[in-house]
Structure 1
């Protein structure tokens, strides 16, 4: 894959997460977290299970990623509250 194209896709993904799932530090106020390629959905964004699942489903759909065999329970625990 072309390196420039890869960077464009990475930027699209970072922008998507920043716009849709990156809340302000104190919900309504404060700075937003800086989204990087190394960010953790659970530990850094502190998304609840349902939001994490929604994010990943949108990721699979939007970037045409094959999700066959993917089990979110291997990565996130539904009892984890963010």
Structure 2
């Protein structure tokens, strides 16, 4: 059960990360969801953080701790992105 939670948590981390990388570097043009990839971590990473914390409660492993840290950092990315844009570009 713990392995499934960790795998699901990392999957919920990678999906928004791929969307963010695509948004920043415009690898594949997604015109219909223009700014939405920046806000995907709010939904995906909060669920991933829940599964990672459950896995950490079952068994304290470094993989579960890494999933908690990764999901937490990506959850904070939209705030950092918006504040950085305001500070740097003044928009």
**Bigger relative CO (Cα 8 Å, ≥ 6 apart):** 2
TM range (shorter): 0.3 to 0.5
More strand by share: 1
More helix by share: 2
The TM-score normalised by the length of structure 2 is 0.32
Could you say which structure has the larger radius of gyration? 2
The TM-score normalised by the length of structure 1 is 0.34
